Structure 1
Amino acid sequence: MKIVHLTYPVKENILSSKIVLALGFFDGVHLGHQRLVRRAKEIAEQKNLPLVVMTFDRHPKEIYEDKKNFKYLETLEEKADKMTELGVDYLAVMPFTKKFSSIGAQDFVDNVIVKLNADTVVAGFDYTYGPKEIANMEHLPDFAKGRFDIVMMPKQIFEGKKIGSTEIRQAIKDGKMELAYELMGHHYVMSGTIGHGKRNGHKLGFPTANLIWAEHKVIPKIGVYATKTEIDGKWYESMTSVGYNVTIGQPDKIYIESNLFDFNQDVYGKPMKIKWYKYTRGEVKFDSLDELKDQLMKDKTEIKAYFDQEVAN
């Protein structure tokens, strides 16, 4: 899959051929997004056309609602990985600027969709491309003027509730990683690099890889988790702490530290991914390092037993 960075108005077609164009922000590439992209892929294969997914470089709420500290489920790179798995040919990224946010619905259709040479547009029932009272899926045929086909995907439901990125973000913030998995269809992943910590874990016999992550990512609830951690292309069962290191007197900064089972290598500076499975306990301030070490041993035993019962994925 190729990532293409667009500018507005689109001046050139990505391809000389017609395309099937899937529209959405796709944060988290959850079950609803996957169904939409798979439907677009089916149409692309039927018509023998490439599939292009168009997204934005930032969430529109950052501009419309002035949310400077908006938290995301995925970085662009993580989103691209998911789109590759779904068989997308091109991921087109449009900068969402203040100027872009003010364009009209007809301008969006004429200068984005048509310029991208769309044969068919696939989008969710709630997709908007301007003021939602006008620039919605109900009115898209009026702006399309017969120049491309339109496929609207209905609301996606899980246990009576809409499958949405907002609901998934809240589940992760609440430590409900199993719910997040059910809504996303895959485990929540945080990626970054391994940074230098205080080496307190090493002193206790539980060396940790300290994740340096993108600041705009959703951070799971403070506590200890059953996780899997990837280093050098291999996944290891692990226990991961999200916390302030209160026992050892570091109460001001959040750390994400993974203790990888059956692993003992010097990996500072390497890429790292954490896949989140289950919240196991909250952060506790212990009276001594010995008490903390005893608890870590219990955590490891509990988490290893959890993975022994789980289907590997």
Structure 2
Amino acid sequence: MKESIVQLIHLNYPVEEHITPSKVVLALGFFDGVHKGHKRLLQMAKEVAEKKNLPLMVMTFDRHPSEVYAGKKDFAYIDDLDEKADKMAHAGVDYLAVIKFTEAFSKISGQEFVDNVIVKLNADTVVAGFDYTYGPKDVANMEHLPAFSKGRFDIVTVPKQTMDGQKIGSTEIRKAIADGKMELVYELLGHHYVMSGTIGHGKRNGHKLGYPTANLVWNNKKAIPKIGVYATRTWVDGKWYDSMTSVGYNVTIGDSQQIFIESNLFDFDKDVYGQKMTIKWYKYTRGEVKFNSFAELKDQLAKDKTEIENYFAKLELEEK
């Protein structure tokens, strides 16, 4: 089966014309996490694109608007751009257009956004969520988009997507990650949360205890699960391994400033420093504890490993 590939297009405002050779179905949103709500929107957009025999383009921004509007420099992302692009490819998106979100761009009017972004991107049809805004939210919203469009493109508004009466949204998912509620994260995303990076040198205390760890060096803009120990699966050297992953400050050795994310991979014993690594988060198992000795820590790690091995064994039985 041919691997799906999305064409990534980086744009500045105002957008140049003739980016694509034909009209497109244009899906609008930030799409952080590409969660179940996003997938429904993309599915609807894809259906329109196939019906009209047009390519599907997603238009998003290089950073979340709140970084500019609210000055949130510590904004935590569910996906980095590579992860988002990969998910878009799997959703059947042909083009992923990423506009540089500057302070000047944040100040344009709703009409300017329509004229200099949507129309320039050659939109035949625009598909967006009911709450999508493109300027001052009391004016530049989906209710007023038909007036701004002046009949130049069709509009499909996607209603609110909910689970158990709760909106499925990126804000809710970021909070669940920060709270360590990885099973809820899975329900909202439709897939497990992942963090990718390279394997760096840690403190090597795990090696001394018989539990060697791979220390993740990650994109510092990513959402970090709350401090504690997790049941995870870790991709290293071309394979997924059951693992237990610690998110913490290494309080046992007195470093309370820097957060470390360290995975102990079960049935794995290779030197993989510098290689790529991905952690898939399944379940929070316990909080961080300051131990009086390495012996106490070693005993707890043995209990953690047994608990997590049992968790994955049960999970595999349920999946059969």
What's the TM-score, normalizing by structure 2? Answer: 0.96
Q: 1:242 aligned to 2:264? A: no
SS of 1:167 mapped into structure 2: helix
**1:271 offset after TM fit, Å?**
1.1
Select the residue among 65, 68, 74 that pairs with 1:60: 65
> Number of residues paired by the alignment?
313
For residues 131 and 109 of structure 2, the distance between their equivalents in structure 1, rounded to whole angstroms, comes to: 17
**1:227 offset after TM fit, Å?**
0.4
* Map of 2:125 onto structure 1: 120
* Map of 1:206 onto structure 2: 211
Select the residue among 226, 229, 233 that pairs with 2:231: 226
* Map of 1:139 onto structure 2: 144
On the 8 A contact 2:237/2:272 being kept in 1, the answer is no
The amino acid that maps onto 1:264 is: D
* 1:153-184 residue CA offsets vs partner (Å, 9 max, x unmatched): 00111111111111111111111000111111
Matches within 5 A, 1:73-92: 73-92=78-97
- What RMSD over aligned residues (CA atoms) do the two structures have, in Å? 1.1
Select the residue among 169, 181, 184 that pairs with 2:174: 169
SS of 1:310 mapped into structure 2: helix
Select the residue among 19, 25, 29 that pairs with 1:14: 19
For residues 239 and 5 of structure 1, the distance between their equivalents in structure 2, rounded to whole angstroms, comes to: 38
After TM superposition, where is structure 1 displaced by more than 6 Å over at least 4 residues in a row? none
SS of 1:83 mapped into structure 2: helix
What's the TM-score, normalizing by structure 1? Answer: 0.98
For residues 50 and 278 of structure 1, the distance between their equivalents in structure 2, rounded to whole angstroms, comes to: 39
**1:232 offset after TM fit, Å?**
2.9
The amino acid that maps onto 1:100 is: F
SS of 2:152 mapped into structure 1: coil
For residues 13 and 231 of structure 1, the distance between their equivalents in structure 2, rounded to whole angstroms, comes to: 42
**1:310 offset after TM fit, Å?**
1.0
For residues 255 and 282 of structure 1, the distance between their equivalents in structure 2, rounded to whole angstroms, comes to: 14
Select the residue among 183, 186, 196 that pairs with 1:181: 186
**1:286 offset after TM fit, Å?**
1.1
SS of 2:57 mapped into structure 1: strand
Select the residue among 25, 31, 43 that pairs with 1:26: 31
* Map of 1:107 onto structure 2: 112
List gaps (5 residues or longer) in structure 2.
1-5
* Map of 1:291 onto structure 2: 296
SS of 2:233 mapped into structure 1: strand
For residues 49 and 256 of structure 2, the distance between their equivalents in structure 1, rounded to whole angstroms, comes to: 53
**1:217 offset after TM fit, Å?**
1.0
**1:209 offset after TM fit, Å?**
0.5
SS of 2:231 mapped into structure 1: strand
For residues 41 and 66 of structure 1, the distance between their equivalents in structure 2, rounded to whole angstroms, comes to: 34
The amino acid that maps onto 2:282 is: Y
